[in-house]
């Protein structure tokens, strides 16, 4: 379940221009029950089963003990998601299982509300508009749009290719779907016909509240970085469309995880790992400098600007292998981002990228992002997740197997004493779980695939990011000066892994 953050009145004013606009509004939602037949509902549920399987929760305690099979990593990781609202922005799978029930006039425009009222079967699923500023404004909007807006049973906006929103955004395709809503590709007719990604949030209050928080963060990012130099996704516009919060972003390519998955989990070459890691450190350092913690960094939330690739055939392994042409990236999904002065939820981050101080409920700040980046960079290098688990005790056992014993100070301070016995992790290596950890985890340096100097530099950086004690963990300002990145400062920006611009200066 997503955690809605509550603020004292003194904090509320700090939320910026967005919240000032909504300070005096009441958010109410009225909906009418669909009268579709049970057989129709069954058909719809069967069609949407493939999506529901992919949703995640904070802690899905799986008893499954499969080995680190790369094909298995995808389904395993998708069962444990930090926040329902934060799935990947621009997932490329197109879902055809959606039914569109809106009728149109012969001239292609939607029927007016009055006409809709005369036809009961067309009005049965209409939603009331929320967040209207005044009755006069509502009447102006109604006369301008004159559309019958409908939602499905889950709160998704019903739309189809060719529809226009706000007399500006023309929908041309569906890019992806998540628990928060859908992302569509649109032509923005007020930006000279530029293509944008429009995130359409469900008409469900908890997701709308998450969207408001994300908009506030994105507005602050735009304010601090108007030229978009710090590699965070750029928000162009936002608006409320009949109860659906909509956010317009720059159109990006595949996520670094989806590209890895589509490439059969073939690791990225080390020169690409170097450039991607540098950019992630740069983007998140910008957030930290502005008193923000992302809290949900993972390969799914790091997108290529352009995911075009070159295809080569591997004779030895008898398979096609992809190599991305440009490793320019953007960090996305700020729905969980937290300012330093705001309430800090007890649990943050997707399981596999969750820092030990979060697991042990010792409190967290910006260093929890650095831990996540260490896990991400490792995953780029080897092609699979470092901590492949869904259980806290097992997660801690994996940490000890890979990184060494948990510091006694952290054990003494944690409220989670149930995981420890006499100052040590309470873990039996002779159980099936113990054998699983022993067989699938090894000390960090044993994952090296080469004895070359830059590979050792990389693992030195990862070790610094995966330091147990947050106070001893490397900062991102220090990380950007690490010897692993020295080569970037001498290589020209025209290399294929950085065809956009030189960010190393």
Enzyme catalytic residues: 296
Residues 6+ apart with CB under 8 A from 315: none
Which ranges of 311-418 would DSSP assign to H, the alpha helix?
356-359, 367-382, 392-403, 408-413
Residues 6+ apart with CB under 8 A from 391: 59, 61, 62, 433
3-state secondary structure of 312: strand
Residue 307 CA, chain-centre distance (Å), reads 17
**And the tokens for 382?**
């080897």
Give the residue among 209, 197, 219 at the shortest CA–CA distance from 240: 209
Q: Which residue has the tokens 């509502």?
A: 138
For residues 292 and 329, the answer to whether their CB atoms sit within 8 Å is no
For residues 395 and 359, the answer to whether their CB atoms sit within 8 Å is yes
- Torsions phi, psi for 299 (to 5 deg): -55, -30
Which residues are bridge partners to 223 per DSSP? none
The span from the CA of 436 to the CA of 66, in Å, is 8
- Burial pattern 166-185, b for ≥16 Cβ within 10 A else e, equals beebbbeebbbbbbbbbbbb
């Amino acid at each position: 379940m997503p955690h809605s953050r509550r603020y004292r009145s003194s904090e509320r004013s700090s939320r910026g221009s967005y919240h000032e606009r909504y300070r005096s509004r009441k958010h109410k939602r009225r909906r009418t029950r669909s009268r579709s037949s049970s057989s129709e509902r069954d058909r719809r549920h069967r069609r949407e089963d493939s999506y529901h399987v992919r949703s995640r929760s904070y802690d899905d305690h799986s008893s499954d003990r499969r080995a680190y099979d790369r094909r298995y990593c995808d389904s395993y990781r998708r069962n444990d998601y930090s926040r329902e609202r934060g799935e990947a922005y621009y997932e490329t799978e197109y879902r055809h299982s959606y039914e569109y029930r809106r009728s149109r006039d012969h001239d292609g425009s939607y029927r007016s509300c009055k006409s809709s009222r005369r036809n009961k079967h067309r009005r049965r699923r209409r939603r009331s508009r929320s967040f209207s500023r005044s009755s006069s404004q509502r009447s102006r909007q109604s006369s301008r749009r004159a559309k019958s807006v409908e939602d499905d049973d889950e709160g998704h906006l019903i739309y189809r290719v060719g529809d226009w929103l706000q007399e500006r955004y023309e929908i041309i395709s569906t890019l992806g779907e998540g628990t928060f809503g859908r992302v569509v590709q649109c032509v923005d007719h007020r930006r000279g016909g530029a293509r944008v990604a429009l995130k359409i949030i469900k008409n469900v209050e908890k997701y709308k509240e998450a969207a408001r928080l994300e908009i506030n963060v994105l507005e602050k990012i735009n304010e601090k970085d108007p030229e978009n130099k710090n590699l965070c996704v750029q928000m162009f516009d936002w608006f409320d469309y009949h109860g659906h919060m909509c956010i317009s972003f720059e159109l990006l390519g595949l996520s670094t995880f989806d590209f890895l998955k589509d490439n059969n989990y073939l690791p990225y070459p080390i020169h690409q790992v170097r450039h991607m890691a540098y950019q992630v450190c740069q983007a998140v350092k910008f957030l930290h400098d502005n008193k923000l913690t992302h809290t949900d960094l993972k390969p799914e939330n790091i997108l290529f600007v352009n995911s075009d690739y070159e295809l080569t055939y591997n004779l030895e392994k008898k398979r096609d292998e992809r190599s991305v042409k440009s490793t320019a990236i953007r960090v996305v999904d700020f729905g969980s981002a937290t300012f330093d002065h705001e309430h800090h939820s007890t649990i943050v981050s997707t399981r596999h990228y969750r820092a030990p101080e979060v697991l042990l409920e010792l409190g967290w700040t910006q260093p929890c992002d650095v831990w996540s980046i260490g896990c991400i960079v490792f995953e780029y290098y080897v092609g699979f997740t470092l901590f492949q688990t869904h259980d806290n005790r097992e997660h801690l056992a994996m940490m000890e197997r890979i990184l060494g014993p948990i510091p006694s100070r952290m054990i003494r301070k944690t409220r989670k004493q149930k995981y420890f016995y006499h100052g040590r992790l309470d873990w039996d290596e002779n159980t099936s779980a113990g054998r699983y950890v022993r067989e699938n985890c090894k000390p960090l340096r044993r994952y090296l695939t080469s004895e070359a100097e830059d590979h050792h530099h990389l693992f030195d950086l990862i070790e610094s990011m995966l330091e147990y004690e947050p106070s001893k963990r490397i900062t991102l300002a220090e990380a950007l000066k690490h010897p692993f990145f020295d080569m970037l400062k001498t290589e020209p920006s025209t290399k294929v892994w950085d065809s956009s611009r030189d960010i190393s200066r």
